[in-house]
Amino acid sequence: DVKVTQSSRYLVKRTGEKVFLECVQDMDHENMFWYRQDPGLGLRLIYFSYDVKMKEKGDIPEGYSVSREKKERFSLILESASTNQTSMYLCASSSMDGQKASTDTQYFGPGTRLTVL
Amino acid sequence: AQKITQTQPGMFVQEKEAVTLDCTYDTSDQSYGLFWYKQPSSGEMIFLIYQGSYDEQNATEGRYSLNFQKARKSANLVISASQLGDSAMYFCAMREGLSNDYKLSFGAGTTVTVRA
């Protein structure tokens, strides 16, 4: 089974702090994604990466950065946390083979609920 | 413009009955994929079912089936014989084209509550 893990389930930080959210997958997937989930808005893509050291902006990258130094690990960084970044953060991974429908599926971690005070 | 629209914020269904969750999508691509995910209160997103735009048959996975109407751009999820464990939020998502970025666009979700 695909396993995607996230470093924390719950996190409370202060405004202005630097925050690191870690995501690790064990299926040798090329693609990794960071989303945030807010009520009524669904999931919105922050950043994604399709290879080590590669990153692409998603729909809402402002206030975030990412790092992918190893294939299995994708980190989301909030350089200076703000209260409007209080949200649920979900990491996902998928393989690169677009020929098979099943391999296009994104597999998600359990999520990190971040509160910024 | 919204790429995925889920118009039902919340639904109640009686145990053992079927429920249909609506999803409409907007794309100009000929090749695309549609996904449904379930998110229980624990938070993890669970993949349920996939429909490719060129698939002629509606996808089915156990008690889940996808009512795919291409001309209407709709991909409704049908859950048959609802169980208490089906209570969750359900998201419809779409991947467009055959680009290498494999991004998904998600709808706002529908909360399903199954009553005993």
Residues from chain A contacting residue B52 (CB–CB below 8 Å): 101
d(CA A25, CA B55): 30
Q: With 60 as the cut, is the pLDDT of residue A76 above it?
A: yes
Query: B47 to chain A: which residues are within 8 Å by CB?
Result: 105-107
Q: List, in order, residues 6 or more apart from A11 with CB less than 8 Å away.
A: A19, A21, A112, A113, A114, A115
Q: Least CB-CB distance to B33: which of A50, A56, A101? A: A101
C-alpha count within 13 angstroms, C-beta hemisphere, residue B3: 20
pLDDT at A101 over 70: no
Q: What is the pLDDT of residue A74?
A: 97
User: What is the model's pLDDT at position A97?
Assistant: 63
**A98 burial type by CB count under 10 A (0-12 exposed, 13-18 middle, 19+ buried):** middle
Closest CA to A47 of A17, A89, A2, A107: A89
Q: How is residue A20 annotated by DSSP? A: E
pLDDT tens digits, A32-74: 999 999 988 889 999 999 889 899 999 999 999 999 999 999 9
Highest mean pLDDT among A30-44, A96-110, B12-26, B101-115: B12-26
| Closest Cβ–Cβ partner in B55, B102, B108 for A104 | B102
Regarding predicted confidence, which is higher, B103 or A48?
Answer: A48
Number of CB pairs, chain A paired with chain B, less than 8 A apart: 70
Are the C-beta atoms of B7 and B108 separated by less than 8 Å?
Answer: no
At residue A1, does pLDDT exceed 90? no
Q: Which residues in chain A have Cβ-Cβ distances shorter than 8 Å to B6?
A: 42
pLDDT at B87 over 80: yes
What's the confidence (pLDDT) of residue A102? 45
Cβ contacts of B37 on chain A, cutoff 8 Å? 108
- Chain-chain contact of B98 with A98 (C-beta, under 8 angstroms): yes
Residue of B103, B110, B111 to mutate for A, most A C-beta atoms under 10 A: B103
Cross-chain Cβ contact B50/A102 below 8 Å? yes
The whole-chain average pLDDT of chain B stands at 92
Task: Record the tokens describing residue A60, joined without a space.
Answer: 């809402």
Residue A18: the pLDDT is 97
Query: CB A104 to CB B95 under 8 A?
Result: yes
Confidence of residue A94 (pLDDT cuts 50, 70, 90): confident
| Confidence band, pLDDT 50/70/90 cuts, at residue B103 | confident
Nearest partner of B9 among A59, A44, A41, A88, judged by Cα: A41
* Environment class of B11 (CB within 10 Å of its CB; exposed 0-12, middle 13-18, buried 19+): middle
What Cα–Cα distance (Å) separates residue A94 from each residue in A49, A64, B2, B18?
A: 10, 21, 24, 31
- Closest to B54 measured CA to CA, from B23, B34, B31: B31
Is residue B102 within 8 angstroms of chain A, CB to CB?
Answer: yes
pLDDT band at B46 (very low <50, low <70, confident <90, very high): very high
Q: Is residue B17 a contact partner of residue B115, using CB atoms and an 8 Å limit?
A: no
- List residues bridging with A32 in a β-sheet: A49, A93
**In chain B, which residue's Cα lies nearest the Cα of A10?**
B43
**What does the alpha-carbon distance between residue A103 and residue A84 come to, in Å, rounded to a whole number?**
34
